[in-house]
């Protein structure tokens, strides 16, 4: 599939890296719009190499075949069909344009974040949501399935990423979203000094110690994530936060 890419209801972008030395990735994704929903999903086959890729491919083909089903039904179907494989972890999100909702779930450690684009009428409204990750392996051991449903609005961003991407980015983007919002509401443009202060703030946060500051980062955050295309954001996250010891994949979708 070419990037940037669109369905009727979303624009999306994907970036991925194969673990050096391997021929194919065990991290795959699906984006499919059917009559009533858009299904997006990220699948990580256990381990890496061919067997991981085979498990992930089978999961994606099941998702493709039953893409009109609910995320819970899809997880069960995948579990049944993947019993002879190594298994996968995955996150699925189903967007329903008719009532502007999204339902999502994650089994294993595929991360999910939703960044809300709407100006926050009430400062206590959340700017982002995070997916609940239930421990388990599809094809091997399923936890009791739990999906959450939430309202979404035009230009909301959904990000799904495998564990080859450090979850540091979730803190970073969350902080940036809040910061951008506060700056926009106070003085508008962020000054160079604001950005340097922010950089210092990140350096002093021990959970973000792996981050290095660069001009590229500052530009991304100055522009604000909502002004980047899904593909630009996926490329940035993959390049900047991939751990280098596993396959890695990031899917970014913008609700149109």
Rounded-to-integer distance, Cα 239 and Cα 256, Å: 26
Q: Helix axis angle, 230-241 relative to 215-223, nearest 10°?
A: 150
Where are the alpha helices (H) located in the chain, listed in sequence order? 50-65, 71-81, 168-186, 192-203, 215-223, 230-241
The alpha carbon dihedral of 116, 119, 122, 124 has a sign of positive
**Other CB atoms within 10 Å distance of the CB of residue 196:** 12
d(CA 32, CA 255): 13
Residue 246 in contact with Mn ion, rule: CB under 5 A:
yes
Peptide bond into 4 cis (omega under 30): yes
24 binds Mn ion (CB under 5 A): no
Question: Residue 3: helix, strand or coil by DSSP?
Answer: coil
User: How many chain residues interact with Mn ion (CB under 5 A)?
Assistant: 4
Query: Given the complex with Mn ion, which of 52 and 74 has the nearer CB atom?
Result: 52
- Minimum CB–partner distance for residue 158 and Mn ion (Å): 20
- Rounded to a whole number of angstroms, the minimum distance from the CB of residue 86 to Mn ion is 12
Q: Cα separation of 11 and 127, whole Å?
A: 20
Applying CB under 5 A, which of residues 24, 44, 69, 111 lies at the interface with Mn ion? Answer: 44
Report 54-113 residues binding Mn ion (CB under 5 A).
Answer: none
Measured from the CB atom, is 198 or 246 closer to Mn ion? 246
- Whether the Cβ atoms of residue 79 and residue 139 lie closer than 8 Å to each other: yes
Residue of 24, 69, 129, 163 interacting with Mn ion (CB under 5 A): 163
Q: How far is the CB of 242 from Mn ion (least distance, A)?
A: 11
Please tell me the distance from the alpha carbon of residue 215 to that of residue 69, in angstroms, as a whole number.
Answer: 44
Mask for 116-155, x = binds Mn ion (CB under 5 A)? ----------------------------------------
Nearer to Mn ion, 28 or 95 (CB): 28
Shortest CB 109 distance to Mn ion, Å: 8
Per CB under 5 A, the segment of 43-51, 65-73, 148-156, 231-239 that binds Mn ion is: 43-51
Taking contact as CB under 5 A, which single stretch among the options 5-13, 138-146, 156-164, 192-200 is the one that binds Mn ion? 156-164
Binding site for Mn ion (CB under 5 A): 44, 162-163, 246
């Amino acid at each position: 599939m070419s990037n940037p890419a669109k369905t009727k209801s979303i624009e999306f972008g994907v970036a991925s890296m194969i673990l050096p030395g391997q021929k194919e990735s065990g991290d795959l994704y699906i984006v499919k719009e059917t009559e009533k929903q858009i299904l997006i999903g990220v699948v990580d086959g256990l381990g890496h190499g061919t067997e991981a890729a085979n498990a992930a491919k089978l999961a994606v083909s099941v998702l493709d075949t039953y893409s009109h089903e609910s995320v819970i039904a899809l997880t069960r179907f995948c579990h049944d069909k993947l019993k002879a494989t190594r298994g996968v972890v995955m996150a699925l999100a189903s967007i329903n344009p008719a009532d502007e909702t999204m339902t999502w779930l994650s089994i294993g450690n595929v991360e999910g974040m939703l960044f809300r684009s709407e100006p926050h009428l009430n400062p206590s409204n959340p700017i982002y949501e995070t997916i609940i990750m239930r421990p388990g392996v599809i094809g091997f051991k399923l936890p009791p399935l739990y999906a959450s449903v939430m309202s979404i609005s035009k230009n909301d961003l959904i990000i799904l990423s495998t564990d080859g991407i450090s979850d540091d980015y979730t803190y970073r983007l969350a902080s940036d979203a809040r910061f951008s919002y506060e700056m926009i509401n106070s003085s508008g443009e962020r000054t160079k000094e604001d950005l340097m202060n922010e950089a210092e703030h990140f350096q002093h946060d021990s959970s973000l110690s792996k981050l290095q500051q660069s001009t590229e980062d500052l530009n991304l955050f100055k522009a604000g994530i909502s002004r980047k295309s899904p593909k630009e954001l996926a490329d940035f996250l993959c390049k900047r936060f991939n751990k280098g010891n596993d396959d890695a994949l990031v899917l970014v979708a913008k609700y149109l």
